[in-house]
């Protein structure tokens, strides 16, 4: 999922892997807080953004392709193309560097939208084991597919699962995410129970949508306390959001939310102001 600092930009450098170059399947390593030097695998190719949400803060712009038209309007990369690109890129990093800290499944939308997501995950893990053993594989997801067992099983093979939750009520969930499927907060929370552990990613801002007022923060804290994640990545807007009227928080406001989280829940906050 594209979300501020944690996700590479939509026009990234790529690792030059021949035919896959046009599809931007593997981005060049870059520093992505808090994961260090990270190689991002983009399962969705370089066509229009493919996502099940249309978050007003998305740094990839609006989501124009409806889910029911995804198959007919967007050509997603094949399992074979992703497998070949990943293998070649990992091998190249192994042979000539630069050293990386981590591998991230993210990119041009919601990675679990790839119709053969479990197969793709297995190929990536195999290539990691061969060429970059010991490097953690992470995924960033909006959680819409967590009610599908084969998706959660595949996610559980990775070292870290990062699910975004920016809201503690169904009303705010809708405003923050504009879901294009029948997902709601309750379904995402239910799906998280199938994960062996989870890190949460939460975005905060003000403006026409404001998830920083006390009642919203109280609801969000309640949800986070219930989920009991390993940690919460708390971030503010750092790039141009899809809705330009959204207002960025200053650093003090972001740190205030982080310390509120730690005080009320004793859950670790990782701040990306
Ligand atoms: S989940 Fe939201 S922020 Fe992430 S890619 Fe989709 S629309 Fe963008």
> What CATH number is associated with residue 148?
3.20.20
What is the per-residue pLDDT for 26? 96
The Cα 8–Cα 13 span in angstroms is 10
* Number of structural domains the chain divides into: 1
**Structural domain includes residue 16:** yes
**Structural domain includes residue 214:** no
**Structural domain includes residue 230:** no
**Ligand 1 near 165 CB (within 6 A):** no
Q: How many CB atoms sit inside 10 A of residue 113's CB?
A: 22
Average pLDDT, the chain: 91
**Ligand 1 near 139 CB (within 6 A):** no
Best residue for ligand 1 mutational test, from 10, 43, 49, 58 (most atoms within 8 Å of Cβ)? 58
- Give long-range contacts, CB 8 A cutoff, 24+ apart: 186-190: 187/144, 187/146, 187/147, 188/142, 188/143, 188/144, 188/146, 188/163, 189/165, 189/223, 189/226, 189/227, 190/146, 190/147
**Ligand 1 near 50 CB (within 6 A):** no
**Ligand 1 near 176 CB (within 6 A):** no
**Structural domain includes residue 244:** no
For residues 58-72, give the mean pLDDT.
88
What is the per-residue pLDDT for 16? 44
Give me ligand 1 centre to Cα 96, in Å: 33
* pLDDT top residue among 12 and 219: 219
With a CB cutoff of 8 Å and minimum separation 6, the contacts of 172 are 166, 211, 216, 219, 220
The Cα 189–Cα 41 span in angstroms is 26
**Structural domain includes residue 145:** yes
For residues 39-67, give the mean pLDDT.
93
For residues 214-223, give the mean pLDDT.
98
**Structural domain includes residue 204:** no
Q: State the SS3 of the chain.
A: CCCHHHCCCCCCCECCCHHHHHHCCEECCEEECCCEEEEEEECCCCCCCECCCCCCCCCCCCCCCCHHHHHHHCCCCCHHHHHHHHHHHHHHHHHHCCCCCEEEEECCECHHHCCCHHHHHHHHHHHHHHHCCCCCEEEEECCCCCCCHHHHHHHCCCCEEEEECCCCCHHHHHHHHCCCCCCCHHHHHHHHCCCCCCEEEEEECECCCCCCCHHHHHHHHHHHHHHCCCCEEEEECCCCCCCCCCECCCHHHHHHHHHHHHHHHCCCEEEEC
**Ligand 1 near 55 CB (within 6 A):** yes
What is the per-residue pLDDT for 22? 59
For residues 46-68, give the mean pLDDT.
92
Identify the domain containing residue 158 by its residue range: 4-198
Contact at 8 Å (CB) between 229 and 199? yes
What is the per-residue pLDDT for 17? 45
Classify the phi-psi angles of 207: left when phi > 0, otherwise alpha if psi is within -120 to 50, otherwise beta.
Answer: left
**Structural domain includes residue 233:** no
- Say whether pLDDT at 10 is over 80: no
**Ligand 1 near 59 CB (within 6 A):** no
Q: Pick the most confident of 18-22, 44-48, 74-78, 160-164.
A: 160-164
**Structural domain includes residue 260:** no
């Amino acid at each position: 999922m594209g979300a501020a600092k944690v996700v590479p930009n939509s026009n990234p450098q790529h690792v030059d892997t021949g035919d896959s170059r046009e599809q931007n399947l593997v981005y060049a390593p870059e520093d992505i807080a808090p994961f260090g030097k990270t190689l991002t695998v983009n399962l969705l190719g370089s066509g229009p953004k493919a996502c099940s949400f249309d978050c007003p803060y998305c740094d990839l712009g609006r989501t124009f392709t409806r889910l029911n038209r995804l198959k007919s309007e967007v050509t997603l990369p094949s399992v074979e193309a992703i497998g070949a690109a990943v293998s070649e890129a990992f091998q190249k990093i192994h042979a000539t560097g630069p050293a990386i800290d981590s591998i991230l499944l993210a990119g041009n939308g919601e990675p679990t939208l790839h119709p053969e997501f479990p197969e793709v995950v297995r190929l990536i893990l195999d290539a990691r084991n061969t060429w970059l053993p010991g490097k953690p594989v992470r995924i960033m997801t909006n959680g819409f597919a967590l009610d599908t067992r084969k998706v959660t099983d595949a996610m559980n093979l990775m070292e870290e699962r990062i699910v975004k939750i920016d809201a503690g009520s169904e009303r705010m969930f809708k405003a923050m995410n504009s879901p294009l499927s029948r997902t709601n907060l309750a379904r995402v929370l239910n799906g998280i129970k199938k994960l062996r552990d989870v890190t949460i990613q939460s975005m905060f801002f003000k403006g026409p949508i404001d998830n920083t007022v006390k009642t919203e923060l109280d609801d969000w804290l309640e949800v986070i306390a219930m989920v009991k994640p390993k940690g919460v990545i708390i971030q503010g807007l750092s790039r141009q959001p899809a809705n330009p009227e959204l207002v960025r928080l200053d650093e003090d406001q972001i740190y205030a939310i982080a310390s509120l989280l730690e005080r009320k829940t004793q859950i670790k906050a990782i701040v990306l102001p």
